[in-house]
Amino acid sequence: MTQMKELLTEFPDSSKLISISKENRKLIFALFATLVHVAAAVGIVIGVNSHKSSDSQPDFAVLKTSCGSTRFPDLCYSAIANVPEAAQKVTSQKAVIELSLNLTAVAVEHSYFTIEKLIATGEQLTKREKSALHDCLETVDETLDELHKAMEDLQEYPSKKSLTKHADDLKTLLSAAMTNQETCLDGFSHEDADKKVRNALLEGGVHVEKMCSNVLAMIKNMTDTDITNEQKAISNRKLKEEVVDKSGWPSWLSAGDRKLLQSSMMTPNVVVAADGSGNYKTVSAAVAAAPEGSSKRYIIKIKAGVYRENVEVPKKKKNIMFIGDGRNNTIITASRNVVDGSTTFNSATVAVSGEGFLARDITFQNTAGPSKHQAVALRVGADLSAFYQCDILAYQDTLYVHSNRQFYINCLVAGTVDFIFGNAAAVFQDCDIHARKPNSGQKNMVTAQGRTDPNQNTGIVIHKSRIGATSELQPVKSSFPTYLGRPWKEYSRTVIMQSTISDVIQPAGWHERDGNFALSALYYGEYQNSGAGAATSKRVTWKGFKVITSSSEAQKFTPGSFIAGGTWLRATGFPFSVGL
């Protein structure tokens, strides 16, 4: 037991563990396997109380106060109280958060071991179960990166950035980490046979999600308090803010300078052409050749043509931009789907995880059709990603706004069931969002938002856009009821603002998913919409539905506020409006 204590005394330094590269991770996993199992034995990983009586525990006033703001306070307290020398380490709320982050990282490593063991011993696994387990390895790897980045960001808090940006960045990282746990488990929800594997992962996945939830709650409590105090301190003076016009450019920037800046953003590094006239014949080859971790924009010009391939832009490929020859001319298409054995996550024709991804003038398409159920055209988990003049076309689960902060401007999204879904903080502005004709007996759901925690800064916002029907659906719309959305997860959040809603939308507006599930906890809002389907007099009467009447409340869901657009959208070169 003495050796265990000595080993665990160094446990809070596990930030070193989560800073490792993916290539060295397997080696480090082996070295730390003993640590993880010892930690589990004394109740750190599984969050149980120590065998010591509560009378022998020190009185952690700071710890108790910090954990009191979480959704799972007993887990929060017991996990940290069992860390050797915790009394010396818990000196502030920030220190409690740092310890919790490290403990969460070890719990994630434990999940990784479980997944690898299932893969190694799972000879009887189905094709989709194997695919789902590999999805889990990817999402666990991304979770470790997010926790590491959160630790680095927290160490700089409250300097280096504004309090508001610090808060938004930290909440985004923890929200994404939680979403990754849900994604892993959701991969085993397609058939009854999947449930055995899901049950093997459930306890660990739920534990990690609860740990992340506690960190997120403490971060929100700390940053909210600090921001409030800062606002009080400057209440007598107005901070100078840059004036931005409706296009999102600073008002002092001349039209000529804007054109020059935009043109400089569009000079390609490489060209993709199916006929061999470019540097590469496939988009995947161009992405594979792109530098890793670049802070500079890397532009891939994709010439007109139909590219039949599945493309992945991994997390290590940052600041990549796709530029097509027009949405009707440059088409990336494939047909992976759940019926044929894929997971929803892995069915995407194009999947983007690398931070700072941009795309314009391209169509992303999945042609599997309505009978193949979930079949994603575009999956986006890239933070600070934006899409301009793009078409995203499929049927069920067309656009998977998986995680992090995303922006869509002047795009077309078309589909049937839950065709915009996920748990990103995603804003659609000046977009056309069209329901298609589904299979007989199906209902169309424009959105299925997946927020699992009230502290996550996620949601789907449709702003100054147009919600309608495709030409195929329009003449038969009475046979296929269409709704603005339904709750995928308990705290689902979707807001429709200042948009035109056609009569394709049912008067009730929204649809339940499973009885009373989420109807009180969700947040569905409508603000200043117009059109034949915008009347709210016959909308659902759920506790979570709200007709927004306050401009200050609506302002929270603008690109400037909801995705911190004022700090990064100008660099995209795309037009946008930060406010109402």
- What's the chain's Rg over C-alpha atoms? 24
Q: Which amino acid is at 536?
A: T
Strands laid side by side in the 444-449 sheet = 311-313, 350-352, 378-380, 399-401, 420-422, 444-449, 482-485
Contact 429, 413 (CB under 8 A): no
For strands 391-393 and 412-415, give the pairing: parallel
The catalytic position among 145, 186, 397, 453 is 397
Contact 363, 135 (CB under 8 A): no
Q: Which amino acid is at 292?
A: E
Q: Which of 253, 234, 235, 233 is nearest to 243 (CA)?
A: 253
d(CA 97, CA 62): 11
For strands 320-323 and 358-360, give the pairing: parallel
Cβ neighbours, 10 Å, residue 376: 34
| C-alpha dist (Å) from residue 201 to 108, 177, 205 | 12, 16, 6
Give the HSE-up count for residue 144: Cα atoms under 13 Å, Cβ half-sphere. 24
Q: Which amino acid is at 443?
A: K
- Looking up tokens 């926790």 gives 147
| 251-260 residues labelled b (16+ CB within 10 A) or e (exposed) | eeeeeeeeee
Sorted by sequence, the CB contacts under 8 Å of residue 355 that are 6+ apart come out as 315, 318, 319, 382, 383, 384, 385, 404
d(CA 115, CA 110): 9
Q: Which of 511, 513, 494 is nearest to 424 (CA)?
A: 494
| 293-310 residues labelled b (16+ CB within 10 A) or e (exposed) | ebeebbbbbbbebebeeb
Cβ neighbours, 10 Å, residue 323: 21
Sorted by sequence, the CB contacts under 8 Å of residue 302 that are 6+ apart come out as 271, 272, 283, 286, 322, 323, 324, 325, 330, 332, 362
Contact 458, 431 (CB under 8 A): no
Annotated catalytic residue 257: no
Q: Which amino acid is at 485?
A: G
Task: Tell me the sheet residues that pair with 399.
Answer: 378, 420
3-state helix, strand, coil in the chain (%, to 5): 40, 20, 40
Contact 444, 406 (CB under 8 A): no
Q: Is the peptide bond before 158 cis (omega within 30 degrees of 0)?
A: yes
DSSP type of residue 50: P
The catalytic position among 135, 153, 169, 418 is 418
Q: How far is CA 157 from the centre of its chain?
A: 23
Annotated catalytic residue 418: yes
Which residues are part of the catalytic machinery? 397, 418
